[in-house]
Amino acid sequence: MTEAEAERRLRRLGLAPEDVRVLVEHFAEADRRGKASHGLARVAWLEAQAFDPRARPRRVAAEACFDRWDGAGALGYLTLDAVCRSLLDDAPSEPRLVVAERCFPTGALGLWARRLAEGGLIALLTATSPRRLPHPEGGPPLTGTNPLAIAVPSSDGEPAVSDVSMGAVTHGDVLAGTARPEELVPFGGPHAHKAFALAVGLELLVGALAGPEPAAVLLVARPGHDPVPALRARAAGLRLPGDA
């Protein structure tokens, strides 16, 4: 799918032009970075979802070190875009915890974290999703794939960005037909209990702060040190997480 076709199809869903731009830019960047499961192919999936194209995310609390946002029926992509714009427009001088309630779908978390790191902020972002991962011993899905993204700015230009889902494959891979539904289990094979433990811990953390619906939790801070260039030097040309 081309970006132009994606724009046309998203506009037919009733989304505002500025919202269409946010979505297409996110999908296209995911494709460019090799995350096709979160790329332009997601447009077809969105067309089958129920959402209010006119809904707008709202910041409902703003304190010195804490913000709370309510997706208010808007797509999670648009909620995280609003959160990022707010933080970059007025970068906090102290660490800040941001809770985004009713925030789904959230897309490729690493892209949001990268955006904040490119603006000079360390970012740690996680988000919950519908229950898709079973216990490593089997049974029905108990928790979401609950990805975790960490981005750290660097004086050498490109931030380091780690973005990991707790599933052996993603739901997007299943939607794209590149993985079977039964492959959507905690990653790690004989050590899958570790990924499952992370998925459960992240789900409970987000749920305790944001409630039972899929949501996102973000921590940002200004860096006090610059560790990325030294790690790149030690890697001696090996690709690090988030590198092009």
56-223 CATH pick, 3.30.1370.60, 3.40.470.10, 1.10.10.60, 2.40.128.120: 3.30.1370.60
Strand partners, 126: 148, 217
Tens of pLDDT, residues 149-167: 999 999 988 999 999 999 9
The CB-based long-range contact list for 199-203 (8 Å cut-off, 24+ gap) reads: 199/133, 199/143, 199/144, 199/145, 199/146, 199/166, 200/142, 200/143, 202/126, 202/128, 202/146, 202/148, 202/166, 203/128, 203/143, 203/144, 203/146
Q: Cβ–Cβ contacts within 10 Å for residue 102, how many?
A: 20
Based on DSSP, count helices (H) and strands (E) in the chain, helices before strands. 8, 9
Residue linked to tokens 């891979």: 173
- Residues 70 and 82 sit within 8 Å (Cβ to Cβ): no
Domain boundaries, the chain: 56-223
Query: SS3 of 216, please?
Result: strand
Tens of pLDDT, residues 190-239: 999 999 999 999 999 999 999 999 999 999 999 999 999 999 999 998 99
Q: What is the pLDDT along the chain (244 residues), one digit of tens a residue?
A: 899 999 999 999 999 999 999 999 999 999 999 888 899 999 999 999 888 999 999 999 999 899 999 999 999 999 999 999 999 999 999 999 999 999 999 999 999 999 999 999 999 999 999 999 999 999 999 999 999 999 999 998 899 999 999 999 888 888 878 889 889 999 999 999 999 999 999 999 999 999 999 999 999 999 999 999 999 999 998 999 988 7
- Residues 128 and 166 sit within 8 Å (Cβ to Cβ): no
